[in-house]
């Protein structure tokens, strides 16, 4: 059994570096020019300095201000500097990084205004560096700014052994300059504008690694090209892959040239046509030391000896091993990533076990090509299949968390692409992901909501409201309020309820929509107001009347109306005769869930006296009496009927000594949740100052005996809950039972 590295927690060093880099200003003072400088005269171990820089760069925290801490070469000594994707100016680069005695610099994909010319000028200004710098990675950079033509300046870095300048506007003149470097062993000129490779002969004796993926401008015949290559006798690694699928037969000819490149151990011809297994076999047999063959998107790779299982690693599409190797090696090459994902997808149809190792590779491809539609499409389809139903439970949460975040990014980047949105929604719609995985639920709810507003596809609509209803229950009160405050959300959800009601259909979509509205109105007066303003009350009365025997519908509708009734300013809106009559009749429902919520609405409304009831004080008195006697008849429900975010809505009710019916409802509700889920609610009640409130009720001379009895019972629970040392196991454990809709999704 393999152990997946990804399942392990992050290392302590990693956590510390993340913390330090995200709170840098705590450890620093700001200099006059805005750059930071460490406050204490600490001296970091050298490796740690490299790691800190790398962390800051990869987390997007490296800029002109923060890079300032590296100006002090005594405190933070850099040797292997990585500033990938950083955003820094030429001046900051020069002042903070060039004084170090660097062995390596990786500046891939830094901002366009830090050019290769700037970097080379900065580096060669340090005399020592000209000798010591061994490895330089400048992938995806701008060669020079427009006003300043590039000069030949690689040749000043005499110590350089490895140079990588892929995806750069780099021409033949640059190549001649580079090929005069006396110690260069490794060169990557992929996707540059080089037309002629003859200058490589200057490196004949030393060159070990040559990577030239996709040389789009090459103007050499196959014979000329092979004539140059065949003289690079020390070459061990050669990459002539090409995802543009040119018709050149250089790969075939190379494989069929006897004795060429005898020292080769690794050859990549992915994307080249006319490659056959027979030719590859002959080539490999002639070189028993071969450890790698790149054969993705060729016609080869299907023979047993190329399975990729042994010491010869192979990229290709013949089986999982080859495909995974491709995803690993080509993660930065968009065309190959798409190709490999495409083949991976057909494999995922038959996967029965959770494969975090593969999911991780898919995530890597997504992360590296966030704006490439074809990659995101194929990747999201793979994610869905790899995390479907029970498979998700075999994946580590941290991995699922980052994959979910990537799916959300894709949804944001391609808001109008139907299939992509569909793939992402299908993947999101998983019990495991929605309930247990850390990701930005607020963002997710907004994205799904936006999608819902623009689409009417029935299956997808059901899924979207299911997701929203679960997310809404997990958001903080502030977040639900913020979400619900967007008018279009309430409107859209009410629109769905209206449709379903007029069709007379009770289905999962209706139930999820009602749950979502219930949760979104919870402790959110703005959402409640939107509900009223969009004729929600009339609609909900209609729902109550349309489905009188569906207690799960009645319960959700009444739960939401409770939320509305909690908002004092909206009471006047609820004083509608028809509404009051209906709620009053439900008070006598045999279902305790229904009666409970009906009573809640009446308790909130009757807790207010004169202002609301001026004309009908006798009705109020009758309702209070009915409320009181209904509550006394309730049996103890078997399970938790409702989840509350706080007890704040209950405290004002407990203070209504003139209306014992109101107090009784609040006390009953508190007692109910505290007895069903003591761990959650007793702690919550204690934190919110419930002890004092309840003691006041118990000792008040006007307290009704029914209310006092309940208050005492809750106080007992609180004391019992506080008595034992609170053990860790107190924490409320998630109910693991699978939501029924997860299985019903299967056939979409």
Binding site for ligand NAG (CB under 6 A): 61, 63-66, 167-169, 191, 304, 307, 309, 318-321, 334, 348-349, 351, 385, 388, 473, 515, 518-519, 522, 556, 642-643, 645
Distance CA 652, CA 604 (A): 9
Distance CA 619, CA 599 (A): 15
Distance CA 468, CA 75 (A): 50
Q: From residue 238, how far is each of 221, 285, 435 by CA, in Å?
A: 18, 17, 48
Locus of tokens 């029970």: 390
Minimum distance, C-beta of residue 139 to ligand NAG, in the bound complex (Å) = 9
Element containing residue 314 per DSSP (H, E): strand 313-315
Q: Using the minimum distance from each CB to ligand NAG, give the nearer residue, 174 or 660.
A: 174
Minimum distance, C-beta of residue 180 to ligand NAG, in the bound complex (Å) = 23
Minimum distance, C-beta of residue 577 to ligand NAG, in the bound complex (Å) = 28
Minimum distance, C-beta of residue 702 to ligand NAG, in the bound complex (Å) = 32
Is 739:699 a contact under the CB 8 Å cutoff?
Answer: no
Q: Using the minimum distance from each CB to ligand NAG, give the nearer residue, 215 or 279.
A: 215
Q: Using the minimum distance from each CB to ligand NAG, give the nearer residue, 371 or 535.
A: 371
Q: Using the minimum distance from each CB to ligand NAG, give the nearer residue, 47 or 59.
A: 59
Q: Using the minimum distance from each CB to ligand NAG, give the nearer residue, 178 or 254.
A: 178
Minimum distance, C-beta of residue 483 to ligand NAG, in the bound complex (Å) = 13
Q: Using the minimum distance from each CB to ligand NAG, give the nearer residue, 351 or 532.
A: 351
Q: Given CA atoms 624, 630, 635, 641 in this order, what sign does their dihedral have?
A: negative
Minimum distance, C-beta of residue 313 to ligand NAG, in the bound complex (Å) = 12
Q: Using the minimum distance from each CB to ligand NAG, give the nearer residue, 320 or 550.
A: 320
Minimum distance, C-beta of residue 344 to ligand NAG, in the bound complex (Å) = 11
Minimum distance, C-beta of residue 639 to ligand NAG, in the bound complex (Å) = 10
Q: Using the minimum distance from each CB to ligand NAG, give the nearer residue, 65 or 94.
A: 65
Minimum distance, C-beta of residue 69 to ligand NAG, in the bound complex (Å) = 12
Distance CA 558, CA 596 (A): 9
Minimum distance, C-beta of residue 212 to ligand NAG, in the bound complex (Å) = 13
Give the pairing of strands 135-137 and 104-106.
parallel
Minimum distance, C-beta of residue 616 to ligand NAG, in the bound complex (Å) = 30
Query: Measured in Å, how far apart are the chain's first and last C-alpha atoms?
Result: 34
Distance CA 97, CA 72 (A): 10
Q: Using the minimum distance from each CB to ligand NAG, give the nearer residue, 518 or 665.
A: 518
Minimum distance, C-beta of residue 563 to ligand NAG, in the bound complex (Å) = 7
Minimum distance, C-beta of residue 163 to ligand NAG, in the bound complex (Å) = 16
Q: Using the minimum distance from each CB to ligand NAG, give the nearer residue, 158 or 276.
A: 276
Look up residue 621 and give its two tokens: 């008195």
Minimum distance, C-beta of residue 520 to ligand NAG, in the bound complex (Å) = 8
Name the residue among 633, 731, 638, 632 with its Cα closest to residue 676: 638
Look up residue 481 and give its two tokens: 């309020």
Is 209:187 a contact under the CB 8 Å cutoff?
Answer: yes
Q: Using the minimum distance from each CB to ligand NAG, give the nearer residue, 165 or 623.
A: 165
Q: Using the minimum distance from each CB to ligand NAG, give the nearer residue, 307 or 526.
A: 307
Q: From residue 476, how far is each of 408, 472, 516, 738 by CA, in Å?
A: 19, 9, 14, 23
Q: Using the minimum distance from each CB to ligand NAG, give the nearer residue, 253 or 738.
A: 738
Look up residue 23 and give its two tokens: 């709170």
Distance CA 379, CA 342 (A): 8
- 3-state DSSP call for residue 562? helix
Minimum distance, C-beta of residue 309 to ligand NAG, in the bound complex (Å) = 6
Look up residue 187 and give its two tokens: 């060169």
Q: Using the minimum distance from each CB to ligand NAG, give the nearer residue, 60 or 578.
A: 60
Listed in sequence order, the residues at least 6 apart from 276 whose beta carbon sits closer than 8 Å to its beta carbon are 252, 299, 300
Name the residue among 52, 46, 67 with its Cα closest to residue 122: 67
Q: From residue 201, how far is each of 418, 462, 686 by CA, in Å?
A: 52, 65, 80
Distance CA 245, CA 478 (A): 54
Q: What is the DSSP string of 334-368?
A: HHHHHHHHHHHHHHHTT--S--HHHHHHHHHHHHH
Written in H, E and C, the secondary structure of 451-474 is: HHHHCCCHHHHHHHHHHHHHHHHH
Beta bridge mates, 105: 81, 136
Backbone angles phi, psi at 195, to 5 degrees: -110, -25
Q: Using the minimum distance from each CB to ligand NAG, give the nearer residue, 210 or 745.
A: 745
Is 601:562 a contact under the CB 8 Å cutoff?
Answer: yes
Distance of CA 360 to the CA centre of its chain: 13
Distance CA 130, CA 737 (A): 64
């Amino acid at each position: 059994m393999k152990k997946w590295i990804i399942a392990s927690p992050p290392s302590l060093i990693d956590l510390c570096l993340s913390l330090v880099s995200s709170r840098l200003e705590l450890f620093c003072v700001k200099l006059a020019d805005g750059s930071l400088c460490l406050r204490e005269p600490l001296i970091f171990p050298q490796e740690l300095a490299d790691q800190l820089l790398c962390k800051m760069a990869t987390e997007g925290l490296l800029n002109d201000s923060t890079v300032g801490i590296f100006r002090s070469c005594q405190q933070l000594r850099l040797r292997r500097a990585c500033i990938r994707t950083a955003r820094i100016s030429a001046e900051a680069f020069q002042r903070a990084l060039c004084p170090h005695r660097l062995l390596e610099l990786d500046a891939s994909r830094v901002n366009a205004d830090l050019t290769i010319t700037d970097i080379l000028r900065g580096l060669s200004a340090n005399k020592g560096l000209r000798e010591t710098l061994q490895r330089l990675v400048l992938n995806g950079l701008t060669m020079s700014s427009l006003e300043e033509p590039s000069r030949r300046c690689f040749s000043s870095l005499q110590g350089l052994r490895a140079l990588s300048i892929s995806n750069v506007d780099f021409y033949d003149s640059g190549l001649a300059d580079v090929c005069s470097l006396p110690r260069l062993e490794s060169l990557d000129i992929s996707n540059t504008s080089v037309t002629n490779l003859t200058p490589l002969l200057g490196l004949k004796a030393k060159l070990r690694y040559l990577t030239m993926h996709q040389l789009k401008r090459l103007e050499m015949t196959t014979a000329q090209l092979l004539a140059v290559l065949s003289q690079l006798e020390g070459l061990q690694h050669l990459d002539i892959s090409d995802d543009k699928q040119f018709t050149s037969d250089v790969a075939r000819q190379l494989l069929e040239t006897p004795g060429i490149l005898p020292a080769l151990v690794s050859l990549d011809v992915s994307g080249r046509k006319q490659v056959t297994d027979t030719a590859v076999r002959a080539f490999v047999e002639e070189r028993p030391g071969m450890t790698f063959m790149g054969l993705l998107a060729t016609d080869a790779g299907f023979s047993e000896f190329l399975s990729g299982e042994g010491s010869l690693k192979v990229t290709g599409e013949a089986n999982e091993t080859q495909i995974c190797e491709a995803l690993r090696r080509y993660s930065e090459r968009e065309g190959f990533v798409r190709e490999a994902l495409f083949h991976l997808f057909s494999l995922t149809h038959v996967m029965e076990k959770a494969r975090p190792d593969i999911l991780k590779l898919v995530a890597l491809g997504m992360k590296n090509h966030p704006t490439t539609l074809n990659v995101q499409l194929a990747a999201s389809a793979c994610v869905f299949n790899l995390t479907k139903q029970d498979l998700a439970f075999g994946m580590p949460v941290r991995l699922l968390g980052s994959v979910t975040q990537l799916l959300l990014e894709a949804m944001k980047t391609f808001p109008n692409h139907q299939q992509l949105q569909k793939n992402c929604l299908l993947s999101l719609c998983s019990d495991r992901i929605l309930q247990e995985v850390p990701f930005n639920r607020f963002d997710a709810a907004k994205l799904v909501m936006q999608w819902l507003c623009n689409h009417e596809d029935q299956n997808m609509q059901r899924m979207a409201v299911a997701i929203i209803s679960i997310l809404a229950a997990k958001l903080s009160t502030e977040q639900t309020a913020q979400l619900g405050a967007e008018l279009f959300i309430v409107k859209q959800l009410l629109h769905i309820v209206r449709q379903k009601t007029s069709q007379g259909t009770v289905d999962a979509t209706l139930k999820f929509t009602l749950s979502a509205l219930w949760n979104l109105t919870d402790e959110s007066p703005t959402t409640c107001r939107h509900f009223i303003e969009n004729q929600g009350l009339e609609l909900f009365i209609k729902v109550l009347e349309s489905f009188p025997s569906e207690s799960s519908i009645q319960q959700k509708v009444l739960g939401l109306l409770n939320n509305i009734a909690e908002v004092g300013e909206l009471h006047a809106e609820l004083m509608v005769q028809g509404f009051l009559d209906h709620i009053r009749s439900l008070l006598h429902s045999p279902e305790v869930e229904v009666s409970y919520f009906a009573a809640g609405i009446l308790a909130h409304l009757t807790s207010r006296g004169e202002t609301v009831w001026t004309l009908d004080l006798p009705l109020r008195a009758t309702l209070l009496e009915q409320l009181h006697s209904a509550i006394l008849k309730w049996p103890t429900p078997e399970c938790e009927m409702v989840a509350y975010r706080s007890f704040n809505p209950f405290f004002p009710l407990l203070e209504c000594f003139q209306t014992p019916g109101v107090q009784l409802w609040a006390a009953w509700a508190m007692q109910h949740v505290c007895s069903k889920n003591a761990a959650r609610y007793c702690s919550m009640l204690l934190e919110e100052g419930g002890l004092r409130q309840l003691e006041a009720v118990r000792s008040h001379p006007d307290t009704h005996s029914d209310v006092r009895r309940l208050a005492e019972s809750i106080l007992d629970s609180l004391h019992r809950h506080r008595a034992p040392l609170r053990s860790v196991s107190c924490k409320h454990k998630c109910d693991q039972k699978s939501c029924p809709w997860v299985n019903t999704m299967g056939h979409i």
